[in-house]
Structure 1
Amino acid sequence: MNGIYIASTGVFAGKNITTLALGLSLQKQGLRVGYMKPVGALPVTVDEVQGDEDAMLIREVLGLEAAPDMLTPVLIPHNLRATRLGECGNCMQRVRDAYAALSRDKDVMLVCGSGSFLYRGKHLGVDGLAVSRALGLQTLLVDRYDTTLHYDAVLTIREQLNDSLLGVLFNDVPDHFMRDAEEILVPYLRDKGIDVLGIIPRDPLLNAIKASELAWRLGGKIISGNAHSQRIIEDFLIGTMQVENFMAHFRRQQHSATIVGGDRTDLQLVALEGDCPCLILTGNITPNELVRARSEQKGVPVIQVSADTYTVAKHMEHILGSQKLRELVKIERAASLVGSVVDMQRIRAAVAP
């Protein structure tokens, strides 16, 4: 029985969907696939047993039946007092025992990391490097584009893992960077002994969010257009300019939520007439009746928030950059996308019984 540790250079890189895509693909090839997430950071209680929220989702999609505390033997709460720094008994032994039990009747084990490979769980001795070494796993490294790809981190992790690095998967790469990735970065890493197993192009749907959830995440409320609160937001733009300039800018990003001051009725109406998926009004200012009436007619939810435009925009960047897969349509889309670009032959050969 062979195992793969799915790691990442940083948080929200795409480890969970990579794990799902690999699991589904290997299951279709007739392999008995096992799964665990040794360290969890999203505690959830299922049937009075604590586990990790992401692990529960993957367990369900892969059709597994392992107990929550077996899938995730180490949980790190967000509360620092509850974390008990350095106090875990023997966390690594708990990980070893769970892995031995979960892998007993499996052809391949997929072990999904938490947070960044070199750091998450370090205070308890169960960081990604320590776990992958303790369990004798090959490591698949996921790196996500955020203004660039993190090749220095990839090289650093390669030095730590040596030949146990199976390869790297680049995620969420925009069109304008794809050529550089393929023609410059891939050959460079190959010369360093690092295989690039796939480059996943950016897909706005995978980072999209419903207006109702966005309102909650922003600490705001939907004040009109409630019947259309399930509309999907893929991106955002900021309305802080003259109407003429805003109209030209808006036409290029019609599928983006518009963040605009609550006192800018002119820009609000332009966005509504352009059928933006959502209007976010800042400064805790209630719009006039004309805006509310048009939002109802056009089916556009209007979210009122108390923060200023700059603060909301920064929050939006974080929200869209850290969206997790929870909806079936996004899971299927992402699994199909990953499966279509990843070198599954290379991975299959690495885990062949």
Structure 2
Amino acid sequence: MHYLYIASTAGFSGKSLITLGLGLMLKEKGLSIGYIKPYGKIPLKQDGRIVDADAEFLRKALDISEPPEVVSPFVVTYELQSNLLKGKPSDKFDDINRAVSSLANKDLVLVNGAADLYEGATFGIDGLKLIRHFKAKTLIVEPWNGDSSIDAIVGAKELLGSDFLGAVINKVPQGVHDHVKNFVRPFLEKKGIAIFAALPLDRLLDAITVRQLNEILGGKVLCCEEGLDEFIESFSIGAMDVDSALKYFRRTPNKAVITGAHRSDIQLAALETSTRCIILTGGLYTNDVIIGKAKMTKTPIISVHEDTFATVQKIESVMGKISIREQKKVQKTKEIIVREFDLVRLLKELKLV
């Protein structure tokens, strides 16, 4: 049996999406795939037990036959953290070992790593320990962040040694894609680092639905609830003059516009362009003309109590960090992985062909 540990040096790198995309491709190749997420952080109560919400989503998306307690053997909770700090026994390694051992009949087990290689150390289940114990080959997923991404990949290779398989450079902006392809990737390959893909930044994969955003902001939906499941890919602050706003709005598709309730001119400009929702700050409502126009375009208008600055801070804290649990993202991920990922090379490196 082979283990592929999908890791990163920091959180929100895109590990789960890449794990999902690889799993779907490998199953289409006829391989028997196992999946496990040893360290969960998104508690979901299901059938009387706690599982990780993302792990459960991947279990279903990959049509994994194993029960949730195998796929998600440990989920950290406030109670567990509290008991840990009080000195109660906290080593969860045996639980993980039993779960992984139950997958011994698979061709390949995909292990969905934690935020970094050290997370989970206080519970005895950090990435480094699991990689070494199971002799897992490790694929590093590194979101592009300039030269620091190069350092992170090289550093991971030095840290992991023979357990290091290679890397995926993820979320590469269009403006630097040629640079990464023509200079960064060859540079790393010359250092003996296999780069299986340089995946482009895709706004849909980092997007958030209007409904999710409203829940985070604690807002009140004034109209057009039928538009709450549309995806927001960016946001704009409507604080400029209306002519400038209209020019900017036309260049920015699938956006949320944040503005004051008194700026009906900005609201109308937003409704004339590709806008997923309008967020009115300060707890105020807009007028009937705007509501009528919004209903025509099926664009939700949301009123929030916070001022513009606080609202923007909340939005910035979640954009790009939203879960994978959306069917549109599953399909998009598969399309990107099929197009960009060197699966043949991966299978050769894992000695599965």
In the alignment, what sits opposite 2:291?
Answer: 292
Equivalent position of 2:94 in the other structure: 93
Deviations 1:78-124 (A, max 9, x none): 4675462475454222222211112x21111111112122x311222
Once the two structures are superposed, residues 31-87 of structure 1 have per-residue CA deviations (whole angstroms, 9 ceiling, x without a partner) of 111111111111222211222111111111121222222222222114675462475
User: What secondary structure sits across from 2:168 in the alignment?
Assistant: strand
Matched, 1:172 2:175: no
SS of structure 2 residue aligned to 1:74: coil
- Cα separation, 2, equivalents of 1:299 and 1:123: 49
Indicate the SS of the match to 1:75: coil
Equivalence for 2:337: 338
* Contact 1:9/1:150 (8 A) holds in 2: no
User: What SS class does the counterpart of residue 205 from structure 2 fall into?
Assistant: helix
8 A contact 2:254–2:275 mirrored in 1: yes
| Structure 1 residues 244 and 15, CA gap change in structure 2 (3 angstroms) | same
Q: CA deviation at 1:224?
A: 1.7
- The superposition leaves residues 300-323 of structure 1 with CA deviations (integer Å, 9 ceiling, x where unpaired) of 110111122222223223322112
Q: How does 1:253-332 map to 2 (within 5 A)?
A: 253-332=252-331
Amino acid at match of 2:34: G
1:207 Cα offset (Å): 2.0
**CA shift for structure 1 position 26:** 1.5
Moved more, 79-88 or 209-218: 79-88
After TM superposition, list the pairs within 5 Å mapping 1:197-216 onto structure 2: 197-216=196-215
Aligned length: 351
User: Does 1:127 find its partner at 2:123?
Assistant: no
Q: In the alignment, what sits opposite 2:40?
A: 40
Aligned in 2, Cα 1:260/1:108: closer, same or farther, shift over 3 Å? Answer: same
C-alpha offsets along residues 178-214 of structure 1, whole Å, 9 cap, x if unaligned?
1221122212222332121101112222222222222
Cα gap change, 1:286/1:43 in structure 2, threshold over 3 Å: closer, same or farther?
same
| C-alpha distance in structure 2 between counterparts of 1:88 and 1:234, whole Å | 44
Distance 2:198 2:79 in 1: 36
User: In structure 1, what is the equivalent of residue 60 of structure 2?
Assistant: 60
Indicate how the Cα distance of structure 1 residues 94 and 331 shifts in structure 2: closer, same or farther if over 3 A, else same.
same
Q: Is the 8 A contact 2:252 2:274 kept in 1?
A: no
**SS at 2:102 equivalent:** helix
1:50 is aligned to 50
User: What residue is the counterpart of 1:5 in the other structure?
Assistant: 5
Structure 2 CA distance for aligned equivalents of residues 236 and 24 of structure 1: 32
Q: CA 1:98–1:226 in structure 2 vs 1: closer, same or farther (change >3 Å)?
A: closer
Q: In 2, are the aligned partners of 1:108 and 1:351 still within 8 Å (CA)?
A: no
SS where residue 204 of structure 1 aligns?
coil
In percent, how many aligned pairs have the same letter? 32
Distance 2:83 2:189 in 1: 40
Query: Matches of 2:176 and 2:240 in 1, distance apart?
Result: 29
How far apart are the structure 1 equivalents of 2:200 and 2:291? 38
TM-score (normalizing by structure 2): 0.93
User: Match of 1:139, SS?
Assistant: strand
Change (3 A) 1:173 1:107: same
Q: 1:221 — aligned with what?
A: 220
TM-score by length of 1: 0.93
> Shift in Å at residue 275 of structure 1?
4.7
Partner of 2:105: 105
Task: Give me the whole-angstrom Cα distance separating, in 1, the residues matched to 2:221 and 2:18.
Answer: 34
Which residues of 2 match residues 112-191 of structure 1 at below 5 A? 112-117=112-117, 119-145=118-144, 150-191=149-190
Task: Report if the CA contact (8 A) 1:26-1:348 is conserved.
Answer: no
Asked whether the equivalents of residues 14 and 144 of structure 1 are also in contact (C-alpha less than 8 Å), the reply is yes
Is the CA contact 1:278–1:300 (under 8 Å) kept in the aligned structure 2?
A: yes
Instruction: Sort the Cα spacing of 1:91 and 1:230 in 2 relative to 1 into closer, same or farther, 3 A.
Output: closer
Q: What are structure 2's unaligned runs of at least 5 residues?
A: none
Which SS does the other structure have where 2:319 is aligned?
Answer: helix
CA RMSD, Structure 1 to Structure 2 (Å): 2.0
Q: 5+ unaligned residues in a row in structure 1: which ranges?
A: none
Change (3 A) 1:89 1:250: closer
